[in-house]
Amino acid sequence: MVYNASSDRYSTMKYNRVGRSGLKIPAVSLGLWHNFGGIDTFENGRALVRHAFDLGITHFDLANNYGPPPGSAEQMFGQLMATDMKPYRDEMVISTKAGYYMWEGPYGEWGSRKYLISSLDQSLKRMGLDYVDIFYHHRPDPGTPLEETMMALDHIVRSGKALYVGISNYRAPEAKEAIAILKQLGTPLLIHQPRYSMFDRWIEDGLQDVLEEGGVGSIVFSPLEQGLLTNRYLGGIPKDSRAAGASVFLNEGNLTADKLDKVRRLNEIALERGQSLAQMALAWVLRGDRVTSVLVGASKTSQLDDNVAMLSRLEFSAEELERIEAILK
C-alpha cells in the first residue's frame, strides 16, 4: 500500500534549533540502533518509521555499524526510503556515523580520513542516498591527530556528501578542540551526541558549557537508561528484559536494590505529574533547553506515542526538581 504521511504531522511536535545553526530538529528523534537490523522484521521497522514520521519525528539516526549485522540497519532504511519515504526526503533529517569497527585491516575503524570517507561512501550506497544531513565521527580516535579527523569532516561537507557534521562520545576537552578546528576550517560543528540520563549525568561536568559556548547543539542517546527509567523494572527484573540478558550497558549485576528503589521513588513523582516514568525521564533530560533532542528507540508504535506525548508536560516546578535531585543523589 502506498504510504501517504499524516496531514497533521507537524501539529504537535516541538522543533528546536540546533545550536546557532539554521537547522531545527524534533525534540524527539528516532534511533535505529535496535529493531532495524537484518535479524529484525522489515514490516515492523516500516511501521515504526511511518508512525514516527506521522507523529512529526523528522530526524532518523543511524550509524554504519547498526544492525546486527553491521550495515543492515542502513540497508533496511534504504529499502524504506525507496518504497515509502522518498517523496518526503526534503522533510527528513537523516544522520549516520563512522568510528567503530566495520571491516578487516587497518582502515576499517577509528578516525582516519581514509576510513571516514570510505565508510560514508558505503553508507550512502546502502541507503540509496546522494547525501546525509548529518555525518558524525562516532568516537574519538587516540591514534589519529584530531586535525586529520576534523579535516575529513570538513572535506565531506564540501564534497556535498553531508550537509552538517557532528561528533559523538567526545569529552569536554576533545569537543572544545574539535569545535575550534572546524571553526577555523569554515565548517562549524553542528551537534554532539553523548549518552545522558537521570542516572548518567557526565555531560553536566563541563561538556554542556563547552557546547553552549561553541554554539553546538546536542542530541542524547540512552535517555531511558536502556529501559531502566520505564515501568519495566518497578516490580523487579523481568526474565525477558535486557538486564536479565546480555546487554552491554544494562545487566542484572549493576541493578542494585538502591537503584531500583530510586526508580520506584521517581515513578511516584511521575504519577503525581500525570506522566509515565519514561515520559518524565525524557522531559527531565530536555529541561532548561540545554539538550536539543532526545534520541529514542522503539520496538512498538505505542512506545513512540508514549514518548511523544510527554511534550505536553515538559515543565517542572522547583519543588519537583528538588525532589528528583534528592533521589538521584
Helix (H, G, I), strand (E, B) or coil at 76: helix
In contact, 59 and 24? CB cutoff 8 Å = no
Fold designation for 15-227+277-316:
TIM Barrel (3.20.20)
pLDDT digits (tens, 9 = 90+) for 152-198: 999 999 999 999 999 999 999 999 999 999 999 999 999 999 999 99
Closest listed residue to residue 150, CA positions, set 133, 130, 165: 165
pTM: 0.94
The full set of domain ranges for the chain reads 15-227+277-316
Kindly report, residue by residue over 235-293, the tens digit of the pLDDT.
767 665 555 555 555 555 568 899 999 999 999 999 999 999 999 999 999 999 999 99
Query: Which grid cell sits at 314?
Result: 515538559
d(CA 59, CA 13): 12
How many other β-carbons are positioned within 10 Å of the β-carbon of residue 318? 7
Read off the amino acid at residue 142. P
- What does the DSSP assignment read for 212-232? HHHT-EEEEB-TTGGGTTSGG
Q: How confident is the model at residue 114 (pLDDT cuts 50, 70, 90)?
A: very high
Residue 243 C-alpha from the chain's centroid: 21
How confident is residue 110, by pLDDT bands cut at 50, 70 and 90?
A: very high
Q: In whole angstroms, give the CA distance from residue 153 to residue 135.
A: 8
pLDDT band of 1, cuts 50, 70, 90: confident
Q: Residue holding cell 546536542?
A: 218
DSSP 224: T
Per-residue pLDDT reduced to its tens digit, 64-105: 999 999 999 999 999 999 999 999 999 999 999 999 999 999
pLDDT reported for residue 253: 58
Residue 255 confidence (pLDDT)? 82
- Lookup: cell for 134: 548529518
Bridge partners (DSSP) listed for residue 96: 135
Give helix then strand counts, H and E, for the chain: 10, 10
Give CA–CA dist 98/47, Å, rounded: 27
Cis peptide before 87 (omega within 30 of 0): no
